[in-house]
Chains A and B, each alone.
Chain A
Amino acid sequence: MKAVRVILGLIYDDPWLFGGIVIAVVLMKILSAVGFAGPVAGVVLAVLLFLAILISILQETNKAKRQKV
């Protein structure tokens, strides 16, 4: 139960990051289903996941900037 609470906490704390991870994984699932599953697909997966962090951080820094203004 505690594990479930921890995971729910992750979703609540970082919805952008969680959304980014889900989108990246679903996209890769679709791509692998149509045959795009070579080593390049692995690179795309890693890049998409890092993009999720990037968007989540930029979202937070922009929010902080808006609050400051």
Chain B
Amino acid sequence: MTWFGVALASFLGTAVEFVEALTIVLAVLLTKGWRSAFTGAIAAVVTLAALVLIFGYPLVHYVQLAIVQFIIGFLMLLFGLRWLRKAILRYSGFKALHNEGQAFEKELARQKAQGKSGQGFDSFGAFTSFNGVLLEGLESVFIVITVGLAANSLPAAISGSIVALILVVLAGVVFRKPLQAIPENTLKFVVGVMLSAFGTFWVGEGLGIGWWNQDLSILVIIAFYLVASLVFVSYLRSVKRANSTASPGVGM
């Protein structure tokens, strides 16, 4: 394989992983604030760098990727499905919708009272960001090492992944603004769907399930959770309507 071929293979492979990591970091950034998102992401990068420095190339043999995928996937499922459940209850009217303006004013007043400014730190957000970046980063390291060693051109593989990283980070900077315009309740619904989809994918990988078209199947899982949730929301709304017709004046 030529130098360019190795770089391209590494670029394409790691770009997919970086996009997945970016999706999770952006989700945390938009819902829990930049401090939690970046703390988790930076901690994961430091952990990864330490792992690579300590183990070097044999890292591929020391770390059982399936086990890491299973553990992180399971944690992501715990958070994601719980979030999605709450979002379904909110959208179907069984739980009050989060009043964004009121919540923002309240948080601002609380921070002012405590003499703080800016966004607070959320351990759940940082943990989610850490898990996402660590797992995707680990997969990227594996891709670079295996592609680089197989073609006997590690510098080319590293170059390809660095270009992918720069492009994905730039894309994140560009897309952050328009994503911030999405209403918070909708965003939380979408984030719940995405975390659940990533969790499902990773748990499946950890269990040895051969997904259709590998990482591309994440999009299918996202679509499945989205459609299933919307159908369930519409069913719950009809149940709520029926209940309020049966007993007018009493809400749930």
Contacts and interface: CB of A to CB of B under 8 A. Distances in A.
Contact of A57 (B208, B224, B232, B247): B232
A2 B123 contact: yes
A46 B85 contact: no
A25 B123 contact: no
B127 A3 contact: yes
A63 to B, nearest CB: 10
7 contacts: A42-B200, A42-B209, A43-B224, A45-B204, A45-B207, A60-B94, A64-B252
B210 A21 contact: no
Interface residues of B, number: 37
A67 to B, nearest CB: 9
B79 A10 contact: yes
Interface in B208-232: 208-212, 217, 221, 224-225, 228, 232
Interface residues of A, number: 34
| Interface class of chain A by DSSP | helix
A28 B228 CA distance: 20
Interface in A10-41: 10, 13-14, 17-18, 21, 25, 28-29, 32, 37-39, 41
A25 B208 CA distance: 12
A25 B207 contact: yes
B78 A57 contact: no
